[in-house]
Amino acid sequence: MVTGDSERAYARARQEAERLAADGVGGIALTWVDNAGLTRVKTVPTARLPHAARRGVGMSPVFDVYLVDDSMTTSPHIGGPDGDLRLFPDLDRLTPLAAQPGWAWAPADRYDQAGAVHPTCQRLFARRMTERARERGLTLRMGFETEWVVTSDEPSDEKPLYPTTGPAYGMARVVDLSGYLADLLGALHAQQVEVLQLHPEYSPGQFEVSVAPADPVGAADLAVLVRETIRAVSGRAGLHPLFGPVVEAGGVGNGGHLHLSLWQDDSNLCRDGDGPHGMTATSEAFLAGVLRALPALLAVGAPSPASYLRLEPSRWAGAYQCWGLENREAALRFITGAPDDPGAANAEVKCFDPAANPYLVTGSVIAAGLAGLDAGLTLPAPVSGDPVVQGRERRLPTSLPEALERFEDSAVLREAMGDPLFESIAAVRRAESELFAKASPQEIATATRGRY
- Give the model confidence (pLDDT) of 231-283 as tens digits: 999 999 999 999 999 999 999 999 999 999 999 999 999 998 999 999 999 99
Mean pLDDT in residue range 288-299: 98
**Are residues 28 and 44 in contact, defined by beta-carbon separation less than 8 angstroms?**
yes
DSSP 429: H
Asked if residue 112 has pLDDT above 90, the reply is yes
| Pairwise CA distance, residues 126 & 221, whole Å | 11
Asked if 159 and 32 sit in the same domain, the reply is no
The last residue of a domain, from among 118, 151, 183? 118
DSSP 213: -
Asked if residue 1 has pLDDT above 80, the reply is no
CATH of the domain at 92: 3.10.20.70
Residue 339 belongs to some domain of the structure:
yes
Chain centre distance of CA 32: 12
Length of the chain: 452
The last residue of a domain, from among 87, 118, 149? 118
Name every residue whose Cβ is closer than 8 Å to that of residue 244 and which is 6 or more positions away in sequence. Answer: 253, 254, 304, 306, 354, 355, 445, 448, 449, 450, 451, 452
- Give the model confidence (pLDDT) of 50-84 as tens digits: 999 999 999 999 999 999 999 999 999 998 889 99
Name residue 363's amino acid.
G
Asked if residue 3 has pLDDT above 90, the reply is no
| Pairwise CA distance, residues 250 & 252, whole Å | 7
pLDDT score of 69: 98
**Are residues 164 and 176 in contact, defined by beta-carbon separation less than 8 angstroms?**
yes
Bridge partner residues of 96 (DSSP): 104
Asked if 109 and 135 sit in the same domain, the reply is no
Asked if 283 and 415 sit in the same domain, the reply is yes
- Give the model confidence (pLDDT) of 400-421 as tens digits: 999 999 999 999 999 999 999 9
Number of domains in the chain: 2
Asked if 249 and 359 sit in the same domain, the reply is yes
pLDDT > 90 in the chain, percent: 94
Q: What is the DSSP string of 318-342?
A: --EEEEEET-TTEEEEEE---TT-T
What is the domain extent for residue 69?
Answer: 4-118
pTM assigned to the model: 0.97
Reported as a pLDDT band with limits 50, 70 and 90, residue 129 is very high
Q: What is the DSSP string of 373-395?
A: HHHT--------S-HHHH--SPB
Q: What is the SS3 assignment for 29?
A: strand
Asked if 45 and 135 sit in the same domain, the reply is no
- Give the model confidence (pLDDT) of 329-350 as tens digits: 999 999 999 989 988 999 999 9
